[in-house]
Amino acid sequence: MKNLKLFLASCLAIACFSIQSSYAQKGGVMLYGSFNYHETEAGHQLSAAPLGVGYFFNDNMNVGLNYGFNTSKNKALDFTDHFHEVGPFYSNTWPLGKHFNLIGQVEAHYIWGNEHVVNAADVMTDGSYNGYLLRAYPLVGISLGKGWALKAKVAELSYKKKHSKDASIANDHEIITGINGSTVGLGISKNLFIKG
C-alpha cells in the first residue's frame, strides 16, 4: 500500500510539473496499457488490462485494437486460469481544460482461455473456453507532456459470456456495473505524431 501511495504521488507530481497540451492530432497513433502483478502466500496474478494501439482519425476520436490477458494461480485451492481477450475499440476524448480529458471507450472482444481446478471431492478438472466480452467505461486523462498521458479508469459497464469447450467447465456469464476494485484502473499512454 505504501508503494502504491508513493507511485500515485509521483504521478501527480509529474503531472503538475511537466504538463503541456493534451490534445491529440489527426493522424496520430496512440499506444497504451497497464500491467498488474499481485502476489500472496496462496498464489499470484499477472495481467495486462489491456494493451492497445489506436489511430486518431480526427483530433478527438480514435479506433484501434487491444489485447489483454490474466493469469491466476491459487496454490491453496489448486486453481489455475489463463484468460485472453482481443478485439477492436473506439474512444472519444472531451477536453476538460488544458491538461485534463474525459475519455469514453467501448470495446468488443473475443475471449478464450483454459482452467485447471481441483474440486472439494479432489477431482481434477481441466478444460478450455471461449466467448465474447462487451465493455464500456469512462477514463480521466492527465497530460504529462510530449504525448504522454496518465489515464485512470473510474467505472465500467460490461457483459462477458463464456462458452465451455469441455463438459467439465460450466458455461457462464458475468455482468459488471459501477465502481469497485475490478472496475478501477490506472494506465499510461503515448501519442506518436506522424509528420506528413
pTM of the model: 0.75
Give me the CATH topology for the region 2-192.
Porin (2.40.160)
What's the confidence (pLDDT) of residue 42? Answer: 80
Q: Where are the domains of the chain?
A: 2-192
Residue pLDDT, tens place only, 37-66: 888 888 888 888 789 999 998 888 999 999
Q: Is the pLDDT of residue 16 over 50?
A: no
Residue pLDDT, tens place only, 138-174: 999 998 888 888 888 888 899 999 998 877 677 888 8
Sequence-separated (6 or more) residues with CB below 8 Å from residue 24: 30, 56, 59, 60, 62, 93, 191
**103 closest CA partner among 38, 22, 171, 26:** 22
Provide mean pLDDT across the span 122-138: 86
